[in-house]
Structure 1
Amino acid sequence: MKPLKIFILLLFIVLIAGFVSFNFFKDALDPQSSVSIVEDSSRKIPLTKNPISSYNPPKQNWKRLSPDYSLDSTELNSESEIEFNKRMQWWRDAKFGMFIHWGLYSGAEIHPWAMVGRYTEHSDTSQGITAKAYEQYLDLFTAENYNPQLWAQLAKTAGMKYVVLTTKHHEGFNLWDSKFSDFDVANTPKGKDVVAPLAEAVRAEGLKFGTYYSVMDWHHPEFGEPVERWGWFRGAFQYSFQFRGSDPEVTGRMPNPEIYRDYLMAQITELVDNYNPDIIWFDVDRDPGWSVKDGVIAHNYLRSISPNVIIDDRLTKTRMVKEDPLFMEGKRNGSDYQTFEQQAGRNKNLRYQDWEGCMTMNDSWHYDSEDTNWKSTKEIIEILTSTMSRGGNYLLNVSPNGKGELPPENISRLKEIGDWMKVNSASIYETEAGAYLFPEIAFDGAVSIKQNEKGTTTVFCYIYKWPDNDTLQIPTIPNELNVSDATLLGDDKSLKIEGNKVYIGQNPNQIVPVVALELNGVLKD
């Protein structure tokens, strides 16, 4: 067969396959086939205007020009290493924080990604919920038993030093009364801002407050990739426009990312003006609808209006280059710290990086009464100390329901962590990573260090499994230093030291016992 005929035949096959595929996926993606709620049902609380058409703030609502800010920015504004270290010091010392996932998904008790077809942590489908249908969940966010003082007190009791609240997740719903959207808490039964009371309560406990804000927004009509990508391959995109406010079949046009960027800038201005967050924890900048330039503009603008705010690595697409050798050598590429989700650093060498591992207490970020796979308090403390031993912070999630109630398992574990902290908190704060100075330890546990003002060093050994013969093998100590004293935290009595062994006695019945080794000098790299 001649090449031209072969080409024509192949082209014909592709076109036929495309037509069949398009219609198949179009049917599979039909939200009516999977969504049980009825889109036309009357709302208990009518919106003042249709959220899908109530966005698009003009630029003058957020733009604050400064000498180092420009809409044409292509490079991230930088600061000196001294300035950076000063700004990051409280965060490095803090070690432990509380993450709070709270949104419409909490009242509906559905997965935060249900709009695009994920209904549990372990299943994905091609059937999601349209932006219009999703609005009916506004009625389920009552927050009638919301007690921000309790949440803040529990964070402090557990030894946490900062709290981060999801002020807007991927669903696009705002926990504050935004000037730029009606898809917010003002149109729920609660009817008013829930961010401010928590910020006030957290700071009253002496803790830092952060706001999570999703770059990705499945409800906003202008969020999406501004190119014509429709055709036979549409069904291959699991997270399709089909369920977003930006679906061209709903809006009749392609989305405009510049309008969405203006919306995002206006909202982060509101967050800064209203709550002056110590951290802004951005999420999911990897979508094609958000460009590197968008991230650079937003980063530089945020730095200009809040110079001391700490920003994670999910705004400027820096997560896309985590394997870059520059990152591993300590070059920040615009973000203040790296984030790892459900994994504490993924066992990488992060010695020269500021980083944070965020994790759930069970398998779910959101409230899910059927998810009973709770981590034990021992597991949580082991994750905390293992994370610290490699130089990271640990952000532990809690998941209130739509009424504002924390699950009993969240509360009990936070209190039990607090009991452990009463004895062992000296081994947590203002410590440094020990895993790189002590790469091999002969016990099941982890190690951190603290340099003391008197010119000595304390090595904290977190024991996950009590060693045989009640004897702790002392790790090989660099710099020819010696162990001058050893104690079990919670007991001031010195332990017997012989050579490279410490006789630690019987298991004191602590969840994770900590042995402190005092070295007779400064431990250097």
Structure 2
Amino acid sequence: MDTAPAYLRNHQREWEQSPHAANLAWFKDAAFGLFIHYGLYSQLGRHEWVQFREKIPVREYEKLYDTFAPAKFDADFITDLALEAEMKYINLTSCHHEGFCLWNSRTEAFNSWNACGRDLVRELGEQCAKKGLGFFTYYTHVLNWRHPYMLTRDLLPIARPDYPNGDPRYELRTPADNAKYWEYAHKCMAELAELDVPLAGIWLDIIAAYYQVPDLVPIEATYALLREKRPDALISFKQGATGTEDFASPEFHFRSQGDHFRKQGNEKAAELADVAWEKNRLKHNEICMTLQENGWGYVKDTPHKDADTLWGNLAYARANNCNLLANVGPLPDGSIHPDDIACLREVGKRIRKHGLPGAEAALLPGQKTLAAGA
């Protein structure tokens, strides 16, 4: 008889019948998770999109590889902190839009193992398994600013930084060349799906790009690959692409991206977003939010949330039948910001004393105090 992973210890019977169903049942009760955005961008402390926003050339950005030193990225401490906060799972950005992988990838040499001898994905996955936490891996499968065959800006404006004279790294000449990128991305995702640690799910990004160029994203092939390689793992892709995702995970607000694209005059993207959202919105979903303002990756000298605000955000998620995935952006050395540590520990104390918050405590994103009558 197969034994369920430690985080599914209360779902052994479901596991014996269907590991995927066991994961789904567990997720519905998980309530609270920790999101971690960490990468080369953390060294600069100016937002995880710093390469794109500041138009840093690929060759120059790659120099951060040589100085990546996660000496204080401590998976043991991080998992203990999540447990202190009464969280049930952790999601790590295994590869963000910069293209730097946090595991010992066979496909992508631009990775943490080659940079400093650390496989952060494995380290965190093993600690989650040991301590009974679910483990998700984030992968940015529609954006990669380093890959030679990523789309051009005329096809997708966020596909590359707006370099005045282009960048010699980029080799795509026709949309058909993009197939080389997808072959690469699928190999990377297959590696994550085949990790030999318990894996609660694979969390994909970036849905806004998909809505703009759906015909250039082989989403059905991606989902088929992941389900073949890891049939027990849950799949999420923000608000959703096809509506067949196991859960949606919008940022900050529980809503479709349809209105966002309508304001931009992109009705086709808006309709696609709304259709997918309608298929997913009644599921048990997730809302992801940050513990710091102005970015998901580490930002210097920016305000951080206090426990009252996070408590209200957790209540908002629960009022919408969602888990809350609360994000931290570790400092350049991999340590967690002291303000975030204090906030998470305080919320954990409240949960142990009072239980999870009810809807009456809900705070809308950006709201600092409860509205009158709330």
TM band (smaller chain): 0.7 to 0.9
Residue 251 in 1 paired to residue 251 in 2?
no
Among candidates 111, 122, 131, match of residue 196 of structure 1: 122
The answer as to whether partners of 1:337 and 1:353 remain within 8 angstroms in 2 is: yes
Q: What residue identity is the alignment partner of 1:99?
A: F
For residues 293 and 116 of structure 1, what CA distance do their matches in structure 2 show? 21
For residues 152 and 369 of structure 1, what CA distance do their matches in structure 2 show? 24
For residues 286 and 466 of structure 1, what CA distance do their matches in structure 2 show? 31
Cα 1:156–1:83 change in 2 (3 A) is closer
Residue 98 in 1 paired to residue 31 in 2?
no
Q: 1:160 matched to which residue of 2?
A: 87
For residues 465 and 360 of structure 1, what CA distance do their matches in structure 2 show? 19
Unaligned runs of 5+ in 1: 1-81, 118-126, 231-235, 319-332, 429-433, 436-443, 447-463, 474-525
Cα 1:200–1:308 change in 2 (3 A) is same
CA displacement at 1:136 relative to structure 2: 0.8
Q: What residue identity is the alignment partner of 1:368?
A: V
SS of equivalent to 2:60: helix
Cα 1:177–1:370 change in 2 (3 A) is same
Equivalent pairs, count = 324
Q: Please list, as runs of the form range in 1=range in 2, the aligned pairs for 1:191-340 lying within 5 A after superposition.
A: 191-215=117-141, 216-225=143-152, 229=154, 237=157, 240=160, 242-243=162-163, 250-251=170-171, 253-254=173-174, 256-274=177-195, 275-287=197-209, 291=215, 294-314=218-238, 317-318=241-242, 333-340=243-250
SS of equivalent to 2:301: coil
Among candidates 361, 365, 373, match of residue 445 of structure 1: 361
The answer as to whether partners of 2:238 and 2:250 remain within 8 angstroms in 1 is: no
Structure richer in strand, relative to its length = 1
CA displacement at 1:265 relative to structure 2: 1.1
CA displacement at 1:186 relative to structure 2: 2.7
Residue 416 in 1 paired to residue 346 in 2?
yes
For residues 286 and 36 of structure 2, what CA distance do their matches in structure 1 show? 15
Cα 1:405–1:253 change in 2 (3 A) is same
The answer as to whether partners of 2:254 and 2:287 remain within 8 angstroms in 1 is: yes
Deviates more, 1:165-174 or 1:195-204: 195-204
Unaligned runs of 5+ in 2: 1-17, 257-276, 363-368
For residues 335 and 258 of structure 1, what CA distance do their matches in structure 2 show? 23
Q: 1:122 matched to which residue of 2?
A: none
TM-score for the superposition, normalised by structure 2: 0.77
Q: 1:135 matched to which residue of 2?
A: 62
SS of equivalent to 1:358: strand
For residues 98 and 354 of structure 1, what CA distance do their matches in structure 2 show? 18
The answer as to whether partners of 2:97 and 2:140 remain within 8 angstroms in 1 is: yes
Among candidates 290, 293, 298, match of residue 367 of structure 1: 298
The answer as to whether partners of 1:214 and 1:283 remain within 8 angstroms in 2 is: yes
Provide runs of 4+ in structure 1 moved above 4 Å. Answer: 82-87, 236-244, 246-250, 348-351, 464-468
For residues 55 and 127 of structure 2, what CA distance do their matches in structure 1 show? 37
Structure scoring higher RCO (CA < 8 A, sep ≥ 6) equals: 2
CA displacement at 1:316 relative to structure 2: 6.8
Structure richer in helix, relative to its length = 2
For residues 65 and 55 of structure 2, what CA distance do their matches in structure 1 show? 17
SS of equivalent to 1:171: coil
Cα deviations by residue, 1:375-405 (Å, 9 ceiling, x for unpaired): 2101111110221122111000111122111
The answer as to whether partners of 1:96 and 1:159 remain within 8 angstroms in 2 is: yes
CA displacement at 1:249 relative to structure 2: 8.3
TM-score for the superposition, normalised by structure 1: 0.56
Cα 1:84–1:251 change in 2 (3 A) is closer
CA displacement at 1:238 relative to structure 2: 6.3
Residue 388 in 1 paired to residue 318 in 2?
yes
Q: What residue identity is the alignment partner of 1:297?
A: A
How many percent identity over aligned positions?
28
The answer as to whether partners of 1:208 and 1:278 remain within 8 angstroms in 2 is: yes
Cα 1:149–1:224 change in 2 (3 A) is same
